[in-house]
Amino acid sequence: MPKRVAVIGGGPSGIAAALGALARGHDVALLERDAVGASLRTWGATRFFSPLSMNVTPRMRELLDADFDGDALLTGAEYADRVLAPLAAREPLHGRVFERHEVIAIGRRGLTRGDYAGHPLRAERLFRIVCANDAVFEADVVLDASGGLRIPRAFGLGGLPVLGEPTLAHGPIRTLGALADACDALRGKRVLVVGGGHSAAHAIVHLSALAEAAPSTRIVWAVRGANRRPCEEVVNDPLPERRAVVERANELASAPPEFLRVERRAMVERVAQHDDRIAVTLTGGRAVDVDAIAAFTGYRPDAAFLTEIAAEVSPVTEGGARLARAIANVTDCLSVPSVAARDLESGEPGFYFAGSRGYGRSKTFLLQTGFAQLERILDAVS
Cis before 315 (ω within 30): no
> In sequence order, which residues have a C-beta less than 8 Å from that of residue 271 and are 6 or more positions away?
162, 163, 164, 165, 167, 168, 278, 279, 280, 281, 293
Q: CA 198, CA 204: separation in Å to the nearest integer?
A: 10
Q: Is 297 in the site for ligand FAD (CB under 6 A)?
A: no
CA atoms 336, 339, 343, 345: torsion sign: positive
Phi/psi zone of residue 118: left (φ > 0), alpha (ψ -120 to 50 degrees), beta?
A: left
Q: CA 9, CA 49: separation in Å to the nearest integer?
A: 22
Q: Is 366 in the site for ligand FAD (CB under 6 A)?
A: yes
Amino acid at 371: F
Q: Is 81 in the site for ligand FAD (CB under 6 A)?
A: no
Shortest Å, Cβ 13 to ligand FAD: 3
Cα-Cα end-to-end distance for the chain: 7
Q: Which of 106, 108, 161, 159 is nearest to 131 (CA)?
A: 106
List 7, 21, 32, 192, residue binding ligand FAD (CB under 6 A): 32
Q: CA 269, CA 73: separation in Å to the nearest integer?
A: 38
Q: CA 41, CA 160: separation in Å to the nearest integer?
A: 27
Q: Is 296 in the site for ligand FAD (CB under 6 A)?
A: no
Shortest Å, Cβ 199 to ligand FAD: 6
Q: Is 28 in the site for ligand FAD (CB under 6 A)?
A: no
Q: Is 50 in the site for ligand FAD (CB under 6 A)?
A: yes
Nearer to ligand FAD (CB atom), residue 286 or residue 363: 363
Q: Is 312 in the site for ligand FAD (CB under 6 A)?
A: no
Q: Is 75 in the site for ligand FAD (CB under 6 A)?
A: no
Nearer to ligand FAD (CB atom), residue 143 or residue 288: 143
Q: Which stretch binds ligand FAD (CB under 6 A): 11-19, 58-66, 121-129, 243-251?
A: 11-19
Q: Is 317 in the site for ligand FAD (CB under 6 A)?
A: no
Q: Is 360 in the site for ligand FAD (CB under 6 A)?
A: no
Measured from each CB, the residue nearest to ligand FAD is 11
DSSP, res 48: P
Counting beta carbons within 10 angstroms of the beta carbon of residue 310, is it exposed (0 to 12), middle (13 to 18) or buried (19 or more)?
buried
List 145, 211, 339, 378, residue binding ligand FAD (CB under 6 A): 145
Of 208-247, binders to ligand FAD (CB under 6 A) are none
Q: Is 59 in the site for ligand FAD (CB under 6 A)?
A: no
List 75, 208, 250, 356, residue binding ligand FAD (CB under 6 A): 356
Q: Is 9 in the site for ligand FAD (CB under 6 A)?
A: yes
Where along the sequence are the contacts to ligand FAD (CB under 6 A)?
8-14, 31-34, 38-40, 43, 46, 48-50, 102-103, 145-147, 149-150, 176, 199, 302, 305, 355-356, 365-367, 370
